[in-house]
Amino acid sequence: MKPKHIQILGIVISTMFALFIAFLYATEPRSLGELTTKAGTAVGDALTKGQVITGTYEVDPAKFAQGLALFRSGDYPGARSAFQAADPETRDGRTQFYIAYSLYRQGWGRFASDNKLFEQGLEVATRADKLLGGTYISDDADLKLKTPAALRNELEEGLRVTADDFNPMRALEERK
């Protein structure tokens, strides 16, 4: 074995070990079990980023379908979790639209809405609108607000305090 080969071997081993140390200090796994989980997550993230760079990024259809089923059953936090897993890079407008919609439905109240959820929903709906380019119309019969713009408007209305908020007839309004 020539010294040059050993030098190259040294460069490879040292670089890999240094990367491993950086990974450990960045992710801080507390046990060996957690280390494998975090390594798996890191590899998954790296693959997703690679897909984005190469233009082959796609939403996970199984996770999206799971999110949709949870959304329709009324489990909005669970649906959001599945939608986020389906679109980890937040690049799919349709998925973002459903996330915003789940925030709207969870935050909606007959007498008062949850402002925090509505603010989050508004942020996600704006992102969805940008991603979809303003031309998207949902074909989901379950949704009464068919476009991200309509959803944004509803969320903005919910956040605004007006005299209409004190109208007792408002209690008869239905969630969209």
Partner 1 sequence: MEQTEEQEIEKLEVIDAEPVSTTRVDGAIVPFEEEKLHSEDVQRAIRLYILLPFAFLLVTLFGGLRFNGTDGSVMYLSPALIYLIFGATLMALFFVAGLIRLDGWVSERFPITKNVINGITLLAMYAACVQMFNSVIPESGVFFWLVCFCFFWTLWNNLFANFDNKKLLRSLAAMFGFAFFVKYLLLTYLAAPAEQSLVSSILNNPGQAAITWLFSLPQFSPATGYLQFFTIIIFIVALYFFPNTTEE
Query: What is the binding site for partner 1 (CB under 8 A)?
Result: 1, 3-4, 6-11, 13-15, 17-18, 21, 24-25, 28-31
CB of 19 to partner 1, least distance (A): 10
Cα 101 to Cα 151: distance, rounded to the nearest angstrom: 7
In the complex with partner 1, the residue whose CB is nearer, 9 or 112, is 9
Q: How many CB atoms lie within 10 A of CB 32?
A: 7
| Residues present in the chain in total | 176
Task: Compute the least distance from the CB of residue 18 to partner 1, in Å.
Answer: 6
CB closer to partner 1, 9 vs 52: 9
Alpha-carbon distance 149 to 19, whole Å? 45
CA-wise closest residue to 81 among 58, 98, 56: 98
* CB 25, min distance to partner 1, A: 5
Please say which residue, 30 or 160, places its beta carbon nearer to partner 1.
30
We find the least distance from the C-beta atom of residue 24 to partner 1, in angstroms, to be: 6
Q: How many CB atoms lie within 10 A of CB 134?
A: 9
In a 13 Å sphere around the CA of 28, the CA atoms on its Cβ side amount to 0
Q: Which C-beta is closer to partner 1: that of 10 or that of 44? A: 10
